[in-house]
Amino acid sequence: MFCAVIVAAGSGRRAGFDKLAALLDGVPVLRRSVDAFVAAGCDAVVVVCPPERWESTGLASASFPVPVTRVDGGAERQDSVAAGLQALPPQTQLVAVHDGARPLITAEGIRRCAEAARECGAAACAHPVVDTLKRADEHDCSLPEAVSREHLWGMETPQVFRLTLLQEAYRTVRERGLAVTDEVSAVEAAGVQTRLVQVGPNMKITMPGDLELAELIWKHRP
């Protein structure tokens, strides 16, 4: 089985509003993310979010062709992911972990990332860094240092893994008392490399202006 854990337990403080309940072309952002994984052929989707967000995004009353369920999150992102993994069906072999605030992910992008994970065990959506990079001092002034962007990638989600591999990685993280910001970092702690997959526009809604940009991309993509 190929299943998904969608992480949507954060408070959205930087956005200043509940970005996951905000509408993207008339549909809540979180619902857009769930719809993409259902369309990609996932056998089950676990959404990690508080009950009030489950209600406000319409997921509590929505109908899907596959099981879409909710669990509470934890204090940190890795705690929320762990809660989602525990709620997966026992037959799960491949799992995608996705930030609910990335509603532009497509079913085709999910399938491409999943296929890469089936081949090598671990894959993640990402994009090559194209901006000029500068390092700053403690006063936020640029330093005269050339920072190469060769082989640098910006990480995205979904990040897809063989479930047993990700479970073992998180055991390693807990045993070492590590804090990780994504699943790629967790499997790296267990000595496993991740294949990076470029899938197109896949921005995260973080700041207020991001929603308007996402709406523009949504309406103009094929």
Nearest to 84 by CA among 124, 116, 44: 44
Q: Tell me which of 15-29, 128-142, 164-178 is least confident.
A: 15-29
- Predicted structure pTM score: 0.93
**Banded pLDDT at 13 (limits 50, 70, 90):** low
Please give the Cα distance from 196 to 202 (Å, whole number). 14
Asked if residues 196 and 126 have their Cβ atoms less than 8 Å apart, the reply is yes
How big is the chain, counted in residues?
Answer: 222
Write down the mean pLDDT value for the chain: 94
Q: Is 10 exposed, middle or buried (0-12, 13-18, 19+ CB in 10 A)?
A: buried
Q: What is the pLDDT of residues 195-211, one digit of tens each?
A: 999 999 999 999 889 99
Q: What is the pLDDT of residues 18-68, one digit of tens each?
A: 899 999 999 999 999 999 999 999 999 999 999 999 999 999 999 999 999
State residue 87 phi and psi, 5-degree precision.
Answer: -90, 0
The SS3 assignment for 111 reads helix
Q: Which residue has the tokens 């893994």?
A: 161
